[in-house]
Amino acid sequence: MANHACATIAGCRRIVGYLWKKRGLVSGLGGHSDVFANLVVSREADWEAGLRLAMPSAVLVGVDVLRRGGWTTQIPFLPSVAFNNAEATYQVDQFHVVPRPPGWFKLLAPGTQRPDPRGLAALSPSWALAEMIRSEGWGACGLAPDDIYWDQVTDQDRIEWEAACDQLGLGDLAMNPDEEADCGRCR
């Protein structure tokens, strides 16, 4: 007779998964996502691909987008990811998960890109900055204007900034408030 704990396929999977996790062979994304990284194959898990499996609507936002774009060296404790709060969500250890309504994704769609086909979608740096300032403001978003390497901002980034400001209702907000104060110019 079969082991009572393994009376079903699902029961066997749970026991095997538990044993593998206990031995350090796999690591879970978190919550009840049923997404695990095989640590035997690679000790460095691709958590972005895992999060994309668990929460397909996830979009990388915040300071980490600017760091990846070369605009800042600030490193957040956890990368921030927006997810559609109308879909299933999981508490994960590898990301700061921020719920957003479905309309947020439509509003920010023009600034969303997927730099890596396997990875998460992400806002462009200009759109991420505009969204952070709109949501939290300078300082509260984890950055101050002097944290940005403004010489890394291209003309295309400034065009995207203007589009983001229009889309998000920020008007003619200066991308670099220090630039406006220093020389009276507003871009």
* pLDDT bucket at 107, cuts 50 / 70 / 90: very high
Order of strands across the sheet that contains 96-100: 96-100, 80-84, 59-61, 121-123, 112-113
Distance CA(75)–CA(182), nearest Å, equals 27
Per residue in 134-159, pLDDT (tens digit) is 999 888 888 999 999 999 999 999 99
In this prediction, residues 99-118 reach a mean pLDDT of 92
Per residue in 62-80, pLDDT (tens digit) is 999 999 999 999 988 999 9
Distance CA(98)–CA(163), nearest Å, equals 23
* pLDDT bucket at 15, cuts 50 / 70 / 90: low
pLDDT top residue among 184 and 94 = 94
Beta carbons within 10 angstroms of residue 104's beta carbon: 18
Q: Which residues are 100's β-sheet partners? A: 84
pLDDT top residue among 178 and 31 = 178
- When mean pLDDT is compared across 20-29, 60-69, 171-180, the lowest value belongs to 20-29
Q: Do the Cβ atoms of 26 and 16 come closer than 8 Å?
A: no
Distance CA(166)–CA(115), nearest Å, equals 24
Tokens 């957003």 belong to which residue? 100
Whether residue 101 has pLDDT greater than 90: yes
How are the residues of the chain apportioned to helix, strand and coil, as percentages rounded to the nearest 5?
40, 15, 45
Q: Using the 8-state DSSP alphabet, how is residue 72 labeled?
A: -
In this prediction, residues 4-32 reach a mean pLDDT of 63
